[in-house]
Amino acid sequence: MKQKSRSFAAADVLFILGMLAPIAFAIILKVLFIPASDDIEITGAYIFFTLKLPLFDLPITEAQINSWCVIISIFFLCLYLTHGLTAKVNTRRQHLAEWIVEKTSKLVADNMGEYFKSFAPFICAILGLSAFSSLMSLTGLFPPTSDINVIAGWSILVFILISYYKMKCGPLHYLKSFGEPVPFLAPLNVISEVATPVSMTFRHYGNILSGTVISVLIAAALQGVSSMLLGWLPGVIGEIPFLQIGLPAVLSVYFDVFSGCLQAFIFAMLTMLYVAGAFPAETYKAKKERRKQTANSK
């Protein structure tokens, strides 16, 4: 029993290290390769190196590295939460794991219906990846959600799912849907189809990036005002930016924590609504019934 307890605790330690190690790796990369600056710089993700490919070059950026770090951390978090599951709930981590599963399943059932109940893991993954990516800014790292390419990749994946479920009743039904409610609206329906991933991308990206920019500008402005009003104080005391104490932290709670989690929830909600709304449930059900009747008649 004692040996089992030790191995259980050792596995927990490994899982916790697995959660923290990717973030530490990203911080080390930033310290070693990204030059520090005393001025205000609002730039995109730092490019570490570029892979030369036949069709086009592939830059490996800070956003991509940090995204993989978040994915690996979430993976080990899941292993930690599900380690030692039993039929009878007797640990806080199992309570938390079951609460996440129950809430996500209920969210999917309420917004997508019973047909999409298997979507719960996918929606939970979107929520976790988006929220933790935004929260990386709390560690001083570049949040992947501030890179439009990362969000565009998520939106393209959602667009593929939307198109897949629209075509559940066949390609002909999918093409017919562009002519509803009247055929002359087909060009507008095509534009609306393409606009879906574009709007999802810019909504998420714009809100996260704007919060980061506002926080940086306010912090820099407070430093300047502090130097102007309190710079006359003698010695090192006059160099301390007193006005930067407190307010940037409050803004960080809103822009980094609240706004980041809110945008993750909105992106997940839009994914559920767009995918469920694209699925012609009644037509698909009628088609299945006709196939069943045809098979029985034979």
Q: Which residue do the tokens 């980061």 mark?
A: 212
User: Tokens for 52?
Assistant: 């030369």
Q: In the predicted model, what is the mean pLDDT of residues 44-55?
A: 87
Burial grade of 127 (CB within 10 A; 0-12, 13-18, 19 or more): buried
Mind listing the pLDDT tens digit for each residue in 176-203? 878 777 777 788 888 888 899 999 999 9
Distance (Å, whole) CA 121 – CA 82: 14
Prediction pTM value: 0.85
Tell me if 147 sits within 8 A of 34, measured CB to CB.
no
In the three-class reduction of DSSP (H, G, I as helix; E, B as strand; rest coil), residue 55 is classed as: coil
The reported pLDDT for the residue numbered 260 is 86
Mind listing the pLDDT tens digit for each residue in 253-280? 777 788 889 999 999 999 999 999 888 7
